[in-house]
A and B are shown apart, each in its own frame.
Chain A
Amino acid sequence: QKEVEQDPGPLSVPEGAIVSLNCTYSNSAFQYFMWYRQYSRKGPELLMYTYSSGNKEDGRFTAQVDKSSKYISLFIRDSQPSDSATYLCAMSAWHSSASKIIFGSGTRLSIRP
């Protein structure tokens, strides 16, 4: 079993819809959670960085962590065609351990105009 599971999609939604992207994980020691956006043939771009449980909002993006269920989500409000990309979740147990960031394999998202 992978430490981090992410549905590969593709997920296709109409413009303006609320998008929910999710990851599950098995290691209860994970405390730091990240979401990256990766456009085709580009490098991943850090969108959100959160610690422990709860919500964090940044513009149209909200990251949610439920440690009791080992489940994290990224919500995108008022989705735009420019949000079409692959979204990667990532997590680690320690804030300063370079070797311990585990990435999901990504969910491909397409926003239909």
Chain B
Amino acid sequence: NAGVTQTPKFRVLKTGQSMTLLCAQDMNHEYMYWYRQDPGMGLRLIHYSVGEGTTAKGEVPDGYNVSRLKKQNFLLGLESAAPSQTSVYFCASSYRTGGPSFGPGTRLTVT
């Protein structure tokens, strides 16, 4: 049981480049989330999904897109990276009730 896994662990992008962060969970959770964590800001929700094929915007969705084609996977895309998107990105998943389980994070630097 691997829990929540994220790929890649680290990435450096130049401004304007695009990339996709991959998240997978093997706990059969219905809900999946993407958060970003910045110093002093806590965890902020970017997008979330309450089931396969559904996605919704969170608190800070601008500049990001997501897709959930399979129940176990949740992808986060950056179409044109900006320095303000330098952050640590966490994927999480949960059942309909209970606290989310988090992945190990992806450290992204945009120069």
Binding site for B on A (CB under 8 A): 4, 8, 34, 36, 41-46, 49, 88, 90, 95-96, 98-99, 101, 103-106
Q: Please list 8 pairs of residues, one from A and one from B, whose beta carbons are closer than 8 Å in the complex, sorted by A's number.
A: A4-B42, A36-B102, A43-B105, A44-B43, A44-B90, A101-B99, A103-B42, A103-B43
B97 at the interface (CB under 8 A from A): yes
Q: Are B96 and A96 in contact (CB under 8 A)?
A: yes
Q: Are A101 and B100 in contact (CB under 8 A)?
A: yes
**Could you list 11 further interchain pairs (A-B, Cβ under 8 angstroms) beyond the known A44-B102, A98-B33, A103-B42?**
A4-B42, A8-B40, A43-B102, A46-B100, A46-B101, A49-B98, A95-B98, A98-B31, A98-B48, A99-B45, A106-B42
Residues of B within 8 Å of A45, CB to CB, are 102
CB of A5 to closest CB in B, whole Å: 11
Assign chain B's interface to a size class. Answer: 20 to 34
Q: Are A105 and B40 in contact (CB under 8 A)?
A: yes
User: Which secondary structure dominates where chain B touches chain A?
Assistant: strand
Q: Are A105 and B41 in contact (CB under 8 A)?
A: yes
CB of B12 to closest CB in A, whole Å: 16
Contact A49 to B99, CB < 8 A, known contacts A88-B42, A98-B31: yes
The one of A34, A96, A99, A104 that contacts B99, using a Cβ cutoff of 8 Å: A34
Q: Which 8 A-B pairs have the closest CB atoms?
A: A43-B102, A105-B42, A103-B43, A34-B99, A96-B96, A46-B99, A95-B97, A103-B42
Alpha-carbon distance A42/B94, docked complex (angstroms): 18
Residue interface mask B41-54, A partner, CB < 8 A = 1: 11101001110000
Nearest B residue to A4 via CB reads: B42
